[in-house]
Amino acid sequence: MEATATDDSVLAAGARWLAEKRVTLGVIVLLVAVFAFERAVLWLYGPRTWGYLFLASGDLSPGWLLAPFAHRDLTHLGTTAGVILVYGGLVERRLPPATYLGFYVAAGYASTAAQLGAYLGGGPGLGTLGASGAALGLVAFFSTVTALERVWDRRDSEDAGRSVETVFAVTGVVVVALVVANDFLPAVGLEPGTAPFGHLGGMLTGLFYGVVHVRYL
C-alpha cells in the first residue's frame, strides 16, 4: 500500500505542476490545432496549397507567419511538443505569463527569420516550418539562466528543487550540443533534413535573453 500511495502522490504532484503551466499547455494546444488545420488543407487542396500556406521559403507567402506553428508530421509535432512541455514548464516558473509568451513567439520568429536568411543568401532547401527553433530557445534560455544563477549565486548547499533544475539544465546543454552537431557536422548526421540556421536562431535568442534576464532584470 505504501508504494501505491507514493505512486499516487507523485502522479498528483505531476498533475498539479502541469495544471499550473497554462501558457505552456495553451501553446501545445495551439500547435495541435494548427496541425489539424494543416491536415485538412492538405486533404482538401493538396500539397501545393499546403506548402504555400505553411512553408516559409524565399518567396513571400503566408508561410512566413504560419511556419513557426506548423509541422510536417505527427513525429515532428510530438517531439517538439515534448520539449515545450518540459522546458516550457520550467521557463514558465521563471517568467510572467505575458513575458514568457512574448519570448516564445520571438524565438519562433527569430528561428524562421534565420532560416529564411539562409535561403535568401543562396542556402539549400525548399522551405522551413516547425516550432523546434522556439522549443530550443526555451532549452537554451533555461540552461543559460540556471548556469548563470549557479555562478553568481553561490551557496554551500542546494535544495532538492535547485538540484532538479541543475539536472535539466545540464540535459539542456547536451540537447543543444547534439542539435548543433547534427546540423553543422556532416559526419554526425543523426537526423537529416533539419533547418540548421532556424535551430541556431532560436537557440541564440534563448541564450541572449537568458543573459539579459539574469544580468539586468
Ordered DSSP codes for 167-206: HHHHHHHHHHHHHHHHHH-TTT-SSSS--HHHHHHHHHHH
Give the C-alpha separation, 204 to 131, whole Å: 15
Instruction: Quick: pLDDT tens for 91-145.
Output: 999 999 999 999 999 999 999 999 999 998 888 777 899 999 999 999 999 999 9
Closest CA relative to residue 42, chosen from 124, 129, 125, 117? 129
Residue ranges of domains in the chain, CATH in brackets: 22-216 (1.20.1540.10)
Residue 8 confidence (pLDDT):
63
Whole-angstrom CA distances from 179 to 18, 76, 213 are 27, 15, 24
**Total-model pTM:** 0.90
Residue 5 confidence (pLDDT):
52
Provide the sign of the torsion angle of the four alpha carbons 194, 195, 197, 203, taken in this order: negative
Which one has a higher pLDDT value, 162 or 168? 168
Q: What residue type is 217 in one-letter code?
A: L
- CB under 8 Å to 79, separation ≥6 — which residues? 132
User: Does residue 1 register a pLDDT over 50?
Assistant: no
Give the C-alpha separation, 125 to 39, whole Å: 22
Provide the sign of the torsion angle of the four alpha carbons 65, 105, 24, 57, taken in this order: positive
- Reading the block at residue 135, the C-alpha cell is 522549443
